[in-house]
A and B are shown apart, each in its own frame.
Chain A
Amino acid sequence: MALGFGGCVRFDGVQSALAPVSPEADHVFSLSWIMFWGSVAILVLVMVLGFYAVFGRRRPALDGNKMVIAGGVLLPLLALPPLLVYALALGDGLRAPPPEGALRIEVTGHQWWWEVRYRFPDAGDDFTTANEIHLPVGQAVEVLVTSNDVIHSFWVPRLAGKIDAMPGHANRLTLKAEEAGEFRGQCAEFCGAQHTHMAFVVVAKPQEAFEAWAAGQRKPARQPSSTEARRGLAAFLSQGCVECHTVRGTPASGRIGPDLTHVGSRRTLAAGTLDNNSATLAALIRDYQEFKPGADMPSHKDAFDQPTAESIAAYLEELQ
C-alpha cells in the first residue's frame, strides 16, 4: 500500500481512491500503481534515450528503424494486451450482479441532494432517507442509481468507482465495505450551481448495528417531547414545509425535498456539506439560500423569525 508518495500526499482521506476499503476499489488501486510505475519506467527510458541521443559521448550509430519498431510498435503491443486482459477480468467483477437476496438500495440524484431508498425482501420493511447510506460490513449491497433531473454521478472512492445517475436509466453498482467506518461520497458529474455541495456519507457498520439502525429508520417519527419541540412541529406543519418534505407519522408527505423522518440521526445537513447540529439546522431552516443559493429549498427569512426557526430545529433534532 505504501507504494506511492505516502509522505507528501494526503492519501488517507475519507474520500480517497488510494485508501480502498473494498476488494473492487483495492483492485483498481493496485492497477493504478501498476500503470503509474509502468508509465514512469517507460517515460524514464525514453528520456534517458533522448538524453543519450543528445549528450552521449560515444553514441553508436543507431539503427533508427529498429528502435522505432521496438519502442513504438512492439513495446505497446506487448505491454498493453496483458493490461487489457487484467482490466477485463476486473471489469467483469466490478459490474457483476450482487448475490441473490442482497440488500438493495435505490439512490436518486436530485439537484443537489441524494434520495436513498432501502428495499428489503419484505416490502413492508422499506424506508427512505437522504444523503446518508448505511451498509452492513462485509456484505455485497446492490445500489441502483438514477436521477430525477440532470445527470449526476454516484461515487464513493474508497468503495468503488463511480456510476452515472442518468434520467431514464437505472445503473447498477455493487458496494462491499470490508471495514467499518465512514466514507465520503460526492457527486462526480457536473450538475449545476451547487454541484460542489452535493456530497453524502456512507457508514459501514457490523450487521447487528446495521439492523438496529434500519429498525430505527423504519419507525415513524417520534412525538415531540418538549414544549419547544411541540411549537416546532406546529410551525413545521403550518409553514409549508409539508409541501416538500415527508415526516412519516405526521401529515407531512411532500416528495420534493429530503425525507426528514429521522433527520436528527444524520451526520450532515444540506447533502454532506455541513455538520448536523441545532445551530446549523436553525440557520438552514431560516435561510437555506444563504448556504446553498439556487437549491429548491426556499429561504424563510421573511416567513418567520429566528425563535420559530429554532423551535423547528429543536423538533427536527429530536427526530433521531
Chain B
Amino acid sequence: MTETDKTVKTHKTPEAEDRVKIKARRVNVFYGAAQALFDIDLDMRLNQVTALIGPSGCGKSTFLRCLNRMNDVIDGCRVEGDIYMDNQNVYDETLDVVELRARIGMVFQKPNPFPKSIYDNVAYGPRIHGMTQNKEQLDHIVKKSLRRAGLWDEVKDRLSDTGSGLSGGQQQRLCIARAIAVNPEVLLMDEPCSALDPVATAVIENLIHELRQRYTIVIVTHSMHQAARVSQKTAYFHLGELIEYGDTSDIFTRPQHEQTEAYISGKIG
C-alpha cells in the first residue's frame, strides 16, 4: 500500500468502502504446547462488520484477542504471524501497545465491569486518555455512551452505584458503553448480546449499524440470525482453522464447505 492510503483514513471516500483496516496473515497461536489457531489469513474492512462464527472452542475469542494483543498478558500464550492495522504491524516491537488498545476497543465475552461506580466505569477510559477538559464534557461522554448502549434510562438515577451490582445483561451493556466511550477506530465484540433480551439485543444491533458508519467492527456471535442481520462479511472457524470467509449473504445462502453448511443449518456446534 502507498502513502495515499494513510491519508484516506479520516475521509470517507467511495473507494474506502472496501479498504482493509486490519489484515491478519498466517496467524498461529499456541497456549503452551497446544495450538489454538492454524495459519489464519483474514481481512477486516473499514465500515464493515465482520462476524466470526463457529462451534465453541474453535478459537474465535483467541483470534479476536490477537488483534489488540490481549493475548500478551496470558502466560504461555504465543502468537506467530503478522497482523497489520493501517499497514502497521501490530506485533512490531516499536509499537506502543497501550495506544493500540486505545484505538481498538474490546467488549469481552464475560462482562467485566470495574468494581467502581457506573459513572466511573464509563469515564475511566476518557479520563486516562485526557479526552476531556472539564466535568461537563466528561458527563456528556458518559451520558452519550450509556445512551448508545441502551442503558441510560435504566441507570441514570444511580450512576454512583457500583457497576458490579447490575444484572448480567446490564453489565454487558455497561461494558459496551465503556468501550465506545474512548471512541476507538476498531471495535472487537465477543458475544456482546449473549445475556441480552431481544429488545436490548435490537438496541445493540442498531448501535453496531450506527458505529459501522465510522468504525471497523469484528463481532463474535453464536446466533446465526444475528450474524446475518449485522454483518457484511462472515468467517467460519472450526477447530482453530478458518474454513470459509466471504460475504455474509453468500455464506448463509450458498456455503462452499460442507462443515459450514452443517454448522449454519444447526447440524453441528
Chains A and B bind each other: no
Chain A residues with CB under 8 Å of chain B are none
**B-to-A contact residues, CB < 8 Å:** none
